Structure 1
């Protein structure tokens, strides 16, 4: 699912804006924070049987990232570069590290569920992409 969502975000953010973006997409904090939230939510939902994704909200969030990227002037080349970049790998590693620091480690379902419940209760972007069953 994470690969599907990430691929959808990257494909959806292909823009045709006339203005060139000031920074590379891999350095844009809005995009990075969005991908972080998606990655965190995806890891939680894959590892906690009592939490599931809110697919409509996820789609809406992806569309907001698309709109942001288009308005910021990112190009097809920017999107392609991010899809295969080390920035993506670093972000995925950061999500796993942050989850581990919070007690969500492979094989510890309760840890992932606790993080998921915390994210939902705090109303974070990741929490908004999840729901308790």
Structure 2
């Protein structure tokens, strides 16, 4: 086989060996990333509104770094990660989802006991959000 025929085959093999899985959806719509940020957001709302529950900051930081690594390992670029960090619309939409869930579970503005109840439930069930919280 001549070099001119082998070169396109080598280029094709190189392209096919690159990760292409995650680029099918924008990072903010990737289910793993959304679930991670949802858990972080839920835990954050609980800890800000319940004085008996505090955050596990090291775990939260590790979870954030794990989500960044997941994104990179699945073909997203640093630019994709930075774009998500700067995406205020996506943050606001996720925050609204978190607050709607909390309200449906009895945690509403000014009702610390509702937030504490949800927080204790999350901790007891060992959910992703619960693992980011600790009761006092």
> What pairs with 1:37-76 in structure 2 (closer than 5 Å)?
37-76=39-78
Matched, 1:127 2:134: no
Give 1:79 deviation, angstroms.
Answer: 2.2
Could you tell me the TM-score, scaled by structure 2's length? 0.79
Two-structure CA RMSD over aligned residues (Å): 1.4
- The match for 2:26 is 24
Q: Secondary structure at the match of 2:129?
A: helix
2:99 corresponds to: 96
User: Could you list the runs of 5+ residues in structure 2 that have no partner in the other structure?
Assistant: 1-17
Rg comparison, structure with higher value: 2
| C-alpha spacing 1:23/1:35, structure 2 compared with 1 (3 Å) | same
